[in-house]
Chain A
């Protein structure tokens, strides 16, 4: 069974740029959720994708957007990067959009300078 994978591992961007982060869900999982984790904080829910549609969104501005593909992999796009966007971005997959356990990938460390 393949676990959740994410790419890239680390990324450095300049303020104002755009970034795309990628996630492949665990085998058999059709739901992907994205989280932002600032240093010393718990993960904050950004949004969830189920069957290629956004299925819930946290308190993040529209410049955070996403996609889910037919193979259930997903992308997180962030436009107009700000310094405060520097964080660990985590993708988690689950069996469905219901009350299921979520399993995290290794994360992408984004640094905005």
Chain B
């Protein structure tokens, strides 16, 4: 069973702090990783993708990947109340015949307190 695990939270941080979201995955064949933000009642919105070990920064967001530890994280600097949402971690796994399958964690609910 290919799994992506996330702490469901809720994770509460004060406004302006750094929010740290973590994710582990079970299948070493996973080739790329994505973070989606999902506001209540809305669909997931892609905010970060990461394909190789190390850090990737985009504005206030930094994604970190460690394939040896099968660990992915998302840091949100200078957290704002508008960042309050559920953050979904997803792993893309080659499943044969040119097909890739995206497997999601259950999501971590983040609450940024003004």
Contact = CB atoms under 8 A, between A and B. Distances in A.
Contacts of A107: 42-43
A45 B92 contact: no
Contacts, number: 66
A46 B51 CA distance: 24
Interface stretch (B63-71, B74-82, B100-108): B100-108
Contacts of A90: 43-44
B88 interface: yes
B34 interface: yes
The size bracket of the interface on B is 20 to 34
State the main secondary structure of chain B at its contact with A.
strand
30 contacts: A33-B102, A35-B104, A41-B106, A42-B88, A42-B104, A42-B105, A42-B106, A42-B107, A43-B44, A43-B88, A44-B104, A45-B103, A48-B101, A55-B97, A55-B98, A55-B99, A56-B96, A56-B97, A58-B101, A90-B43, A97-B99, A98-B98, A99-B31, A99-B94, A104-B44, A104-B45, A105-B43, A106-B42, A106-B43, A107-B42
Given A43-B104, A44-B104, A55-B97, 14 more contacts: A40-B106, A42-B88, A42-B104, A42-B107, A50-B98, A55-B98, A55-B99, A90-B43, A97-B100, A99-B51, A100-B100, A102-B102, A104-B44, A106-B43
